[in-house]
A and B are shown apart, each in its own frame.
With several copies, the nearest count.
Chain A
Amino acid sequence: MHDDDTPFRTPVPTFDRPTLLSSCAQATTAEEARFRVQYPNAAPRSSRIVALDDGAARMMDDIIAEPRPAAHFLKVAPRQPDISPNEVVLLRLDGDEALLSTELAGADVVVLIATSAQGRRAAEIIGRVARAASVTTAGLIVTADAADDVVRMMRPVTGVLVVSPDADHLAAMLSALRA
């Protein structure tokens, strides 16, 4: 089927439309804008930020000065004991170990950070398990290079991907998403 199989119909705008009291003319003044959304209309979100490699872990350390109570900052542990094909061992900020399966329970979004393809295996597991659990994933690749291999690693495991040479997008993204 082609789109232009649909017969083309021109709507005819006319002038005989009244201005309703409820019209947008009333809807978009600066005065009334003050009264919009007077209450919290979204529950707090719970996010997991996972540094997949050493460069990503350093970046993460740089931004966690700002307190983000609803976010867990995690790093892929250097040693991965062979627990299960669906498990990754992570390290909390305080150095304690945490399991991927535990962290995913109750998470709304997982943000994966990569500066290289070093974390390929962990990325693959996190992406697969998060998808099975219907947890949204976002990826941030911070690299000045072309980064083909990192894109290839991250694309299948994330729902949206951001590529930038600048580390400060991480803080901007977390803040924008209320993470």
Chain B
Amino acid sequence: MLTKEVNDLLTQTTPGTPMGSMFRKYWIPALLASELPANDSAPVRVKLLGERLVAFRDSEGRYGLIDEFCAHRGVSLWFGRNEEGGLRCPYHGWKYDHTGQCIDVPSEAAESGFCQKIKLTGYPLVKIGDILWTHMGDKAERPPLPVWEFCTVPEEQTFTSKRWQECNWLQAMEGGIDSSHVSFLHSGSLKTDPLFRGAAGNKYNQQDRKPVFEVVDAPGGLFIGARRNAEDGQYYWRITPWVMPSFTMVPPRGDHPMHGHFWIPIDDENCWAWSFDYHPTRALSAEERQSMIDGYGVHNQYVPGTFRPLQNKDNDYLMDREAQRRGETYSGVWGIAMQDASLQESMGPIVDRTKENLVSTDNGIIMARNRLRRAVQALVKSGATPPGIDPAHQKVRSVAAVLPADAPFVEACREDLTVRPGVKQTSV
């Protein structure tokens, strides 16, 4: 459990909140590059950390992420005309460039310079990989651009999706570092999902449903090791890196692509679950890519034309009690992603952690919360740079390996847990 004060501290990210200030220190995913496919394409509403913004790509291809509402009367610029180097409000024709600077107020003489006095908030948008990244904090303290491996490998080796999750970012993220639910909730999927099945390591998961956890502090966050019995007194280890504030990677299975997540607050009661799949050294096969598009693995299907999952709380996640009974799915909900999301959403928009009853296998979550709390408090107190901003912290991989019984897993896998260009992942 957490006290109400700490629960509020970690879950609230709107402007002016401590955790909101911390998220504003990082480059975070804002939208898929495919959402702004061409110069002068339709603007897109973006809500991040409680701020209402509109993203657009101007006539010269410059990306802009600016305040959604016109400074004149507060109309949404989503209705705007994206043309001739800026976004024009359709109400009285005020026009803004990609930085949010007002560049035309038709009712005033152009020479008066009135428009120069009007400036909307504007954040940068930078395309790296499939994603447009933004930094919503102080321009003077803008950190280096992100170097996560999944978005810096060649494009044929990577695939990214995002889905709307209807709960606070923290309870979604906690699912990403909670290895102890895999043997239960996702047990059906290990058999049937084309992006998981067939890996040699799967048998350890299914033979030993009581993994033992070790949680090890790392400069950028944590390494969470789950060990199961393997042959000859050795252990099968699945190692999940968590990098602050909200990057997680799932341990690999065989030569399947590696995958992971970013959990980004939309507002305090909604978040984006970003999901990626990539292979460090080879292109994704056509079948793999199609499976990802079809919603297998960590991805999902959508309500057409939206980023809302096809299975959502309004249709009970298309729960199938018969499939649950037959054991094809453990909870009756199809797909890894929605198995997690359905349960996390059912916990409420912001779970009340004063009421939970944690056990010692929850120590990964306990440690992560404590790291977040410490980093936020250090930021508030002394402006300390939070972990995860240093590019070295971002160069991590997950690992699946069989190790001798007494080997400390982080030391034994030091190199495997680090991005090594041209070297494939360590996996079983």
- The answer to whether A and B touch in the complex, with CB atoms under 8 Å apart, is yes
In the assembled complex, how far is the CB of residue A111 from the closest CB belonging to chain B, in whole angstroms?
8
A108 touches B114 (CB 8 A): yes
Alpha-carbon distance between A43 and B118 when the two chains are bound, in angstroms: 6
Is A78 an interface residue when CB atoms closer than 8 A count as contact? no
In residues 163-179 of chain A, which contact B (Cβ within 8 Å)?
163-166, 168-169, 172-173, 175-178
B224's closest neighbor in chain A, by CB? A162
Closest Cβ neighbor of A24 among chain B residues = B313
Which residues in A have their C-beta under 8 angstroms from that of B323?
Answer: 11
B369 touches A176 (CB 8 A): yes
A33 at interface, CB cutoff 8 A:
yes
Using CB atoms, name the residue of chain B closest to A178.
B1
Q: Which of A89-109 contact B (CB under 8 A)?
A: 108-109
| Contact B119–A41 (Cβ < 8 Å) | yes
Pick the residue among A20, A27, A159 that contacts B346 (CB under 8 A): A27
Question: Please, how many angstroms separate the alpha-carbon atoms of A116 and B240 in the complex?
Answer: 26
Residues of B near A172 (CB, < 8 A) are: 366-367, 369-370, 373
What residue of chain B has the Cβ atom nearest to residue A154's Cβ? B214
B interface residues, how many (CB within 8 angstroms): 100
- A165 to B192 alpha-carbon distance, docked (Å): 41
Minimal beta-carbon separation of A19 from chain B (angstroms): 5
Which residue in chain A gives the minimum CB-CB distance to B119? A41
Q: Which of B119, B348, B361 is within 8 Å of A30, CB to CB?
A: B348
A165-B217 Cα distance, complex, nearest whole Å: 7
What's the A-B contact tally at a CB cutoff of 8 Å? 244
Stretch at the interface among A1-9, A49-57, A119-127: A1-9
A162 touches B306 (CB 8 A): no
What is the interface residue range for chain A against chain B?
Answer: 35 or more
B92 → A minimal CB distance (Å): 14
B310 on interface, CB distance cutoff 8 Å: yes
Residue numbers in A under 8 Å from B408 (CB-CB): 146-148, 151-152, 163
A18 and B361 in contact (CB under 8 A), knowing A30-B269, A148-B408? Answer: no
Q: How far is the CA of A22 from the CA of B350 in the complex (A)?
A: 20
List the A residue with the shortest CB-CB distance to B192: A8
How far apart sit A6 and B120, CA to CA, in the bound complex (Å)?
38
CA–CA, A169 and B369, complex, Å: 10
* Contact A21 B307, beta carbon cutoff 8 Å: yes
Residues of chain B with a CB closer than 8 A to A25's CB: 313-314
Contacts of B112 in A (CB 8 A): 108, 134-136
Shortest distance between the CB of B162 and any CB in chain A (Å):
10
Tell yes or no: B423 within 8 A of A by CB.
no
* A binding-site residues for B, Cβ under 8 Å: 1-4, 6, 8-9, 11, 13-15, 17-30, 32-33, 35-39, 41-43, 45, 108-109, 131, 134-138, 146-148, 151-152, 155, 159-166, 168-169, 172-173, 175-178
8 more CB-based (< 8 A) A-B contacts, given A18-B315, A25-B314, A43-B117: A3-B197, A14-B318, A22-B47, A27-B52, A41-B357, A136-B114, A173-B370, A177-B366
